[in-house]
C-alpha cells in the first residue's frame, strides 16, 4: 500500500511566479496519520433462519422481475434492505478493514465536479462505499432470483456472496477507466492527473516545453507521460513499433532536458510516483 509520507517532492529549480500570481503546490494531507490500521474484519452477525416475511418478499420480487415491473421490484428491494439491515450494517462496518488492506481508490470526477476542482479524480470515500454496499446487495438479490437452484436460501446466499462481491468491486477500482492507461499510484492521482498538473505554473511550463517539440516527438510525450498510456497502446496509437516509440520518447526527453531541466524533471517525476 502506498504511504504518501514515504515520498518527498523534489524541485530542482524554484518557480519564479509573476507578482500577484503566487500559486504554491496544493498541500497533501498526511494520510499516514489518517489511514486506519485494521487487520481483522468485523465479525458477521449470526446467520438467521429463513423467515416467512422474507420468503414472501422474495416471491414478490421474483414476480416483479418476470413481469418487468421496475416500480414493484424497487418497493420490494427497499423492504428487503430493511429485513437484512443487520447484514448491511455489518458490511458498512468493514470500511476501515477494506481501506487498511487495499488502500485508497479514486474516482473520475464528472463534468459538474470539475467546475469546482482542478483535479480529474477524487478519493473514493465512505459515502461512495455505502453506495457500493447497497448496489452489491441489489446485485446479490438479482443474482439469487436468476439462479435456477436456490436450495441454500437467500440468507445463506447473501452471506456467501455479499462481501466477496464488495471486495472484488473495490479491487477493480484500481484499474483505470481507460484500458489503454497504466495503473496509477495514489500519489499520482493526488499530484498529477491526465492532461493536468495540479500546480498552474508547472502545468503551463511543461506544456510550453512540450509544444516546442516536433510533432512525432511531441506525440510520444503526450501519449505516454500526459495521458498515462501503456507503451503498447501508445505505440499503436502513434502507429509505430515499441522500439521506435521508445527511441522517440527518450529523444524528446533529452531535448526537453537540454532547454528546460525543470520540465524534464516534472515529467520524469510522474514515473517515480
Cα separation, 170 vs 252, in Å, equals 37
Last residue of a domain, one of 118, 150, 172: 172
Q: Are 83 and 54 in contact (CB under 8 A)?
A: yes
- Within a domain: residue 12? no
Q: What is the pLDDT tens value at each position of the chain, 273 positions in all? A: 444 444 444 444 445 545 444 445 555 454 444 667 778 899 999 988 888 999 999 999 999 999 999 999 999 999 999 999 999 999 999 999 999 999 888 888 888 887 777 667 788 999 999 999 999 999 999 999 987 556 678 999 999 999 999 999 999 998 887 889 888 777 666 666 665 677 888 889 999 999 999 999 999 999 998 888 999 999 999 999 999 999 999 999 999 999 999 999 988 887 665
Phi, psi of 229 (to 5 degrees): -70, 145
pLDDT at 264: 94
The verdict on 245 and 137 lying in the same domain is no
Is the same domain home to 164 and 190? no
User: Could you tell me if 194 and 260 lie in one domain?
Assistant: yes
**Same structural domain for residues 114 and 247?**
no
Residue 224 and residue 127 share a domain: no
Domain residue limits at 190: 186-272
Q: What is the CATH number of the domain that holds 219?
A: 1.10.10
Same domain, yes or no: 34 and 144: yes
On whether residue 3 sits in a domain, the answer given is no
Q: Confirm whether 149 is domain-assigned.
A: yes
Q: Does residue 190 share a domain with residue 127?
A: no
Number of folded domains that form the chain = 2
CA separation, residue 173 to residues 24, 249, 273 (Å): 30, 29, 18
What are the residues whose beta carbons fall under 8 Å from the beta carbon of 101, sequence distance 6 or more? 39
Out of 172, 195, 230, a domain closes at 172
Same domain for 164 and 52: yes
pLDDT in tens, 189-221: 666 666 567 788 888 999 999 999 999 999 999
Is residue 161 located within the same domain as residue 236?
no
pTM over 0.85: no
Per residue in 23-40, pLDDT tens? 455 554 544 446 677 788
Do 63 and 164 belong together in one domain? yes
Q: Which of 159, 99, 161, 169 is nearest to 131 (CA)?
A: 169
Amino acid at each position: 500500500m502506498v504511504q504518501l509520507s514515504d515520498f518527498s517532492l523534489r524541485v530542482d529549480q524554484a518557480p519564479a511566479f509573476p507578482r500577484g500570481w503566487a500559486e504554491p503546490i496544493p498541500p497533501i494531507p498526511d494520510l499516514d496519520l489518517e489511514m486506519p490500521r485494521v487487520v481483522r474484519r468485523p465479525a458477521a452477525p449470526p446467520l438467521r433462519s429463513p423467515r416467512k416475511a422474507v420468503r414472501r418478499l422474495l416471491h414478490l420480487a421474483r414476480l416483479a422481475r418476470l413481469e418487468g415491473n421496475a416500480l414493484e421490484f424497487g418497493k420490494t428491494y427497499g423492504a428487503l434492505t430493511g429485513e437484512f439491515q443487520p447484514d448491511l450494517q455489518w458490511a458498512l462496518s468493514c470500511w476501515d478493514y477494506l481501506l487498511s488492506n487495499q488502500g485508497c481508490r479514486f474516482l473520475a470526477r464528472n463534468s459538474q465536479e470539475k467546475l469546482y476542482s482542478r483535479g480529474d479524480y477524487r478519493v473514493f470515500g465512505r459515502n461512495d462505499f455505502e453506495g457500493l454496499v447497497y448496489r452489491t446487495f441489489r446485485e446479490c438479490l438479482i443474482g439469487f432470483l436468476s439462479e435456477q437452484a436456490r436450495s441454500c436460501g437467500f440468507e445463506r446466499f447473501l452471506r456467501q456472496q455479499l462481501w466477496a462481491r464488495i471486495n472484488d468491486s473495490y479491487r477493480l477500482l484500481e484499474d483505470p477507466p481507460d484500458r489503454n492507461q497504466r495503473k496509477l499510484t495514489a500519489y499520482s492521482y493526488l499530484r498529477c492527473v491526465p492532461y493536468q498538473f495540479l500546480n498552474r505554473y508547472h502545468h503551463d511550463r511543461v506544456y510550453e516545453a512540450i509544444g516546442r517539440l516536433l510533432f512525432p516527438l511531441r506525440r510520444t510525450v503526450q501519449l505516454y507521460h500526459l495521458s498515462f498510456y501503456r507503451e503498447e497502446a501508445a505505440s499503436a496509437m502513434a502507429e509505430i513499433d515499441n522500439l521506435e516509440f521508445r527511441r522517440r520518447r527518450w529523444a524528446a526527453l533529452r531535448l526537453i532536458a537540454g532547454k528546460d531541466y525543470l520540465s524534464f524533471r516534472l515529467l520524469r517525476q510522474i514515473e517515480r510516483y
